[in-house]
Amino acid sequence: MALPEQDASSQQAFKAYMAQVADQVASFLCDDMAARAKSVPEHLRDTADSYLRQPGKCLRPALLQLCCAAAGGDAQAVLPAAAAVEVYHTWTLVHDDIIDHDAFRRGQPTAHISGAALGRRRWRLSEAAAADYGVSLAILAGDLLQGRALSLLASVPARPALALALARRMSDWLTPELLAGEQLDVELSHCSWEEISEESIMTMMRQKTGALLAFCATTGVALAEDCPPQDSPVAQAMGRCAELCGLAFQIQDDLLGLSGEEVSFGKPIGSDIREGKRTMVMRHAMAYCSAAERRLLTGILGHATASADDIAAVREVVTRTGSDVYARKCSERFLAEALQLLESTLRPTPQRELLRSWIMAMVRRNR
């Protein structure tokens, strides 16, 4: 299902809006980092702040603010909540990079790699001891960021009861949901391909990626309506819309991990292959490849030393089986459903049009 194209003016307006959100969130977090500078040990502080100083696209803060504005709220007033979800997302990246053994994020060394370099430089640690130190420092930095996210969310200008409800939703629903997705991701990597269903991969993506996006959307609407998310039909509908976008986003992320550009993607191309990640595209390839190709894939997937030629061989199988086309069609189907839900839930406004552009950007990025 092909998604409708956007006109140039809509694309330009969205690009300008996203740049504005990124600037506002970066400025807010810079002030927050400065205010907390003396309360956290230097090395821990620098590690925690390193990802925030190399900000991503700020898709999650933008989603929260746009949902708030589209539901009649003040997007500027909820900037602390928008910053909170960016910080929350960041701690998950720090820990995810440890689990996935990734060396780069957003074009920079990941937290545990930077920590290891610090250990070698500052204390002349051995390679093994430095690696342990880097992992320990990164875990602590991620924990610090998680606490900071909760603190920022609690500072949003809202009724105390609503602020508490949102903070509890972050700690009692979002965190367990996201961690369940991460754990499922880890467990699937130890299962044979025959044991893995597409449904299990979908569950993992919904929990690991869709849950945070759903939280952003429902929180934005809740702050606009001054109503807990579970009591708002609009919040629930927009949460589902965002969850669908999360599924599409993760599929597109997996595709970019196969054939994107490392500089723009922000992490090594082929890292998911070397890690042996169970993705929708690779499951489809395993199901529809020949016996010889299956032996080839089995010999490459999950091997940290897989060469560039090995990665290229995997891509050839993915292309021959049409697995990339299948995955992309799934992604676009989810986004088409999200667009329908958006238009049936919110009345036409400039903010809804920006949300539409946000949805389109989930699958158009870096293609």
Which domain CATH number covers 122?
1.10.600.10
pLDDT along the chain (367 residues), means of 10: 70 95 96 91 96 88 98 97 98 96 89 98 98 99 98 95 96 98 95 95 97 99 97 98 96 86 59 89 97 96 93 97 97 95 97 96 68
Q: Specify if 291 maps to a domain.
A: yes
The H helix count followed by the E strand count for the chain is 18, 2
179 contacts: CB under 8 Å, gap ≥ 6:
none
CA nearest 99: which of 205, 174, 187, 176? Answer: 187
For residues 94 and 102, give the distance between their C-alpha atoms in angstroms, rounded to a whole number: 10
Structural domain includes residue 314 = yes
pLDDT at 106: 84
Helix, coil or strand: residue 150: helix
Whether 305 is in a domain gets the answer yes
Number of domains observed in the structure of the chain:
1
Unique residue bearing structure tokens 């007033």: 77
Question: What's the confidence (pLDDT) of residue 367?
Answer: 44
Determine the pLDDT at residue 284. Answer: 98
pLDDT at 275: 83
CA proximity to 161, closest of 73, 222, 100: 222
Residue 101 within any structural domain of the chain: yes
Predicted TM-score (pTM) of this structure:
0.93
What range does the domain containing 123 cover?
A: 8-362
Please report the pLDDT score of residue 263 as a whole number: 46
Of 43, 56, 209, 212, the C-alpha closest to 138 is 43
Q: Does 204 map to a domain?
A: yes
The sign of the CA dihedral 62, 83, 48, 151 is: negative
What pLDDT, on the 0 to 100 scale, is given for residue 126?
98
In a domain, 1, yes or no: no
- How many beta carbons lie within 10 A of that of residue 117, not counting itself? 14
Is 2 contained in some domain? no
Is 367 among the domain residues?
Answer: no
